[in-house]
């Protein structure tokens, strides 16, 4: 089992676009992977679950994975947070003419 703490640095929090990116990143991982905030546990495969975290900017989340390839999947999630979710780059949002939430 692998665990790591990540911090939400997205201005608008962990909304639907980054939640979808997490679900996509873990799609091919067939083990258990969850994000946890306090007593709320979200299956990273489920956007519905991830939105339950209501993780605003500055929130720390614990990522936990277990199964074949768990280290890789935790790395992939941590990387999304570290890069502040590439899809959220301000330039991309400006090009699209939307705030991208």
Partner 1 sequence: MKLTEFVVERAIIPDLKATTKDEAIKEMIAGLRNAGRIANDHDGQIVAAILKREELGSTGIGRGVAVPHTKHPSVDSLICTVAISRGGLDFASLDGEDVYILFLLVSPPDRPGDHLRGLETITRHLKSDDFCRFLRQSSTQAQVWDLLSEADAGQT
26 touches partner 1 by CB under 8 A:
no
Compute φ and ψ for 7, nearest 5 degrees. -120, 135
Interaction pattern, residues 43-62, with partner 1; x per rule: CB under 8 A:
---xxxx-xxxxxxx-----
Paired tokens of 96: 């699209």
**Minimum distance of partner 1 from residue 94's CB (angstroms):** 11
87 touches partner 1 by CB under 8 A:
yes
- Are 26 and 14 a contacting pair, CB within 8 Å? no
**Minimum distance of partner 1 from residue 39's CB (angstroms):** 14
38 touches partner 1 by CB under 8 A:
no
3 touches partner 1 by CB under 8 A:
no
Binding site for partner 1 (CB under 8 A): 11-17, 20, 23, 46-49, 51-57, 87, 96-101
């Amino acid at each position: 089992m692998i665990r790591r703490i990540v911090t939400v640095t997205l201005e608008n929090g962990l909304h639907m676009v980054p939640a979808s990116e997490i679900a996509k990143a873990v799609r091919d991982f067939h083990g258990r992977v969850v994000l946890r905030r306090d007593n709320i546990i979200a299956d990273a495969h489920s956007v519905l679950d991830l939105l339950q975290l209501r993780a605003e900017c500055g929130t720390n989340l614990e990522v936990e994975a277990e199964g074949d390839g768990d280290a890789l999947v935790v790395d992939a999630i941590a990387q999304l947070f570290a890069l502040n979710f590439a899809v959220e780059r301000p330039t991309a949002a400006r090009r699209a003419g939307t705030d991208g939430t």
